[in-house]
Homo-oligomer: A and B are copies of this chain.
Amino acid sequence: MVKIGIVGGTGYTGVELLRLLARHPLAELAAITSRKEAGMPVAEMFPSLRGVVNLAFSEPDEATLGACDVVFFATPHGVAMNMGPALVKAGVKVIDLAADFRLKDTAVFEKWYKMPHSAPELLAEAVYGLPEVNRGAIRNARVIGLPGCYPTSVQLGLKPALEAGLIDVTHLIADCKSGVSGAGRKAEIGALFSEAGDNFKAYGLSGHRHHPEIVQGLSSIAGQPVGLIFTPHLTPMIRGIHSTIYARITKEADFQKLYEDAYRGEPFVDVMPAGSTPDTRSVRGANTCRLAVHRPGNGDTLVILSVIDNLTKGAAGQAVQVMNLMCGLPETTGLEGIGLVP
C-alpha cells in the first residue's frame, strides 16, 4: 500500500483527491492537513465522505508527512516549494497540484505569481506531470509540477499536430471555457451562484497565469517557440473545460488518422470519430480527455475540440495517474470511474 499525505485538503482539488484515493485499492490515506481546519473531521466538511474517510484535518507536521510515500500539495501557490525540499530529502515523492513546479524559468514564475521562487534547485529537477508527454521522466521523478487544467486540455489537443509539424505555430488560438469550480473553493463575489449562474463571460484577456505554462509546454512539444492567443471564459457549470483550438494548416495530412494513431493505447485520451463533438459531461468525474478533430469546409483551418473534467484529468485524477506511474503501479489503478451522465 502506498502511504499518502495530502497538504491542504479543503478545496475542490482536495476533495476530489479524497474521492479518488479513498477508493484506490493500493493507496492508504495517512494524513490530511489544514492549518485552518485542524481537528475537524474531513467528513464533517464534506458529508459525501461520511463512512468513507475517517480522518480529521491535522496541522501540517513534518514527521507525519515525512513518513508518507507520496505527498500531494492541494494548496495555494507557494506552499509546496517551501515544504517540498525537506520532504524530498526524506525520500518522499512530492506532487504539487499548484504552480510551484510548472514553470521552468523562475523569472517567469515570479512575474506571474508575484513571489520569489524559494526552491530553484528542486524546480530544476522537477518533472512536468503530463503523462502523455512525459511518461518516462515521470516514472523516475522525485518531484512533479502537475499541469494546470487549461494547459492539460490545450496541450493534449495540439500535441499530434505539433509533433507532426503540420500547422503554423506562430498563431495558435485556444478559446477555452471552464466550469466555475476552476475558480476554487474560495469566497469570492465573482464565483457566487447569482453572479456566475445563467451568465457567460470571458476573463483574463490581459494575461492569465496559464498562458506562459501553455506556451512553455507547446514550445517544448513543437521544438520551437510558439505564439498563442488564449481566451478563457467562465461558463455556468460546475465541472468541465472545453477548449476550442484553431490552427492554420501548413502541410496536408489525414488529421483524423494522425490523432487516432498518436493516442492509440493511451488509456486516458479518447479520439472520437470524425464529425463528433465531445461534451464535457461525458468526462464528468472521469480521468479522460476526449478529443475531436475538424476541418470546416475542408479549408486550411484545423479546429480541435478538447474536453476534460478540470478537477479530474485537469487536477486530482491526473495527480493519481502520476502517482501510479511514480510508484510503479498500473497507470489506471483507481481511475476507472465512468463519466456521470446525466
Question: In the complex, A47 Cα to B273 Cα: how many Å?
Answer: 11
Known interface pairs A200-B279, A270-B50, A301-B171. Does A192 touch B180 (Cβ–Cβ under 8 Å)?
A: yes
Whether B180 pairs with A177 at a CB distance below 8 angstroms is no
Stretch at the interface among A59-67, A69-77, A141-149, A332-340: A332-340
- B341 A202 Cβ-Cβ under 8 A: no
Nearest CB in chain B to that of A341: its residue? B48
Which residues in B have their C-beta under 8 angstroms from that of A240? 198-200
Q: How many copies of this protein are present in the complex?
A: 4
Bound together, the chains give a CA A279 to CA B276 distance in angstroms of 29
Query: In chain B, what residue has the closest Cβ to A44?
Result: B273
Are B201 and A194 interface neighbours, CB within 8 A? no
Q: A294 to nearest B CB, angstroms? A: 5
A187 at the binding interface (Cβ < 8 Å): yes
Given known A50-B270, A193-B192, A200-B280, contact A19–B238 (CB-CB < 8 A): no
Chain B: CB-nearest residue to A15: B341
Q: Is the CB of B279 within 8 A of A51?
A: no
Residues of chain B within 8 A of A202, CB atoms compared: 242, 244, 277, 305
Task: Note all chain B residues with C-beta closer than 8 A to A22.
Answer: 338
A275 at the interface (CB under 8 A from B): yes
A50 to B273 Cα, complex, angstroms: 11
What are the 3 A-B residue pairs with the smallest beta carbon separation, nearest first? Answer: A48-B339, A201-B279, A187-B187
20 A-B pairs besides A19-B340, A48-B338 with CB distance below 8 A are A12-B194, A15-B342, A22-B338, A46-B341, A48-B284, A50-B272, A173-B173, A173-B246, A185-B342, A186-B189, A187-B192, A194-B342, A199-B240, A200-B240, A201-B278, A201-B307, A229-B301, A229-B303, A231-B303, A337-B337
List the interface of chain A (C-beta within 8 A of B).
12, 15, 19, 22-23, 46-52, 171, 173, 175, 177, 179-181, 183, 185-189, 191-203, 205-206, 227, 229-231, 233, 235-240, 242, 244, 246, 248, 270, 272, 275-286, 290, 294, 296, 299, 301, 303, 305, 307, 311, 336-342
